[in-house]
Amino acid sequence: MSEADRLSPQQDRTWSLLVGVMMWLPAELDTYLERSADLSHAEYGVLRCLSLSEDREIHMSRLAATASVTPSHLSRIVGRLEKRSFLTRSTEPTDARKTLARLTPTGAQLVEEVEPGYVAEVRTRVFELLENQQVDQLEDLAEAILTPLRSDCIDLLPPRSAR
C-alpha cells in the first residue's frame, strides 16, 4: 500500500476522533433518553422534529430528512411510536401517494417533559466543552461535511443565526 492509499497521521487521528464522537455521543444520549422516557435517540428525534413543525405534522419523506434517518428506519420508528400513541399517520388529502405523520397530544406532552433534560445533556456533553469560536467552527465543519451527503437536511434547518 502506498502513502497515497493511507490517511496522514493527522487525518487518521482526526477521523478516529470523529468516529468516536459519532459512536459514543448518540450512545450516551440514547442511555439518557431510555432511562428518562423509554425512547431511543432516533425516536426522540422524530418526535422533536414533529413538535417543531407547523401544525405538528410533516410528510414522511421530509421527516426522514429532518430527523436524519433513512426512510426505511423512519417507518419502523413511526410504527413503534404510533403503537405508543405518540403520533398518527394519515394519507395526504391532496396526494394519496404521500403519508403524513402527526404528533398527538400525548406525544407533544412527552416532548415537553423530556426536552429540558435532553437540552441539558446536549449542553453538558457538547456545548459547555467548547468556546464560542469552537461552536462556530463545529457548525461550519458539520455543515461542510453534511452538505454533499444530504443537502436536503441542510435546506430544512433554520437559517444560520448572526454570530
pLDDT tens string 91-113:
988 888 889 999 999 999 999 99
Burial 57-86 (b: 16+ CB within 10 A, else e): bbbbebbbbbbbbeeeebeebbebbeeeeb
Packing angle between helix 41-52 and helix 60-67, nearest 10 degrees?
120
Residue 156 has pLDDT above 80, yes or no: no
Here the cell at position 2 is 502506498
pLDDT in tens, 19-44: 999 999 999 999 999 999 999 999 99
Task: Count the neighbouring beta carbons within 10 Å of the beta carbon of residue 50.
Answer: 26
pLDDT in tens, 74-93: 999 999 999 999 999 999 88
- The domain locations on the chain are 19-152
Share of the chain above pLDDT 90, in %: 72
Provide, for the chain, the percentages of residues in helix, strand and coil under a 3-state DSSP scheme, each rounded to the nearest 5. 70, 10, 20
Residue 71 has pLDDT above 70, yes or no: yes
Average pLDDT, the chain: 92
Residue 163 has pLDDT above 80, yes or no: no
Q: Calculate mean pLDDT across residues 142-162.
A: 85
Residue 162 has pLDDT above 70, yes or no: no
d(CA 100, CA 53): 12
| pTM for this predicted structure | 0.86
Q: Calculate mean pLDDT across residues 108-128.
A: 97
Nearest Cα to Cα of residue 83 among 51, 27, 38: 38
- Domain spanning 19-152: which CATH class is it, in words? mainly alpha
Higher pLDDT, 46 or 160: 46
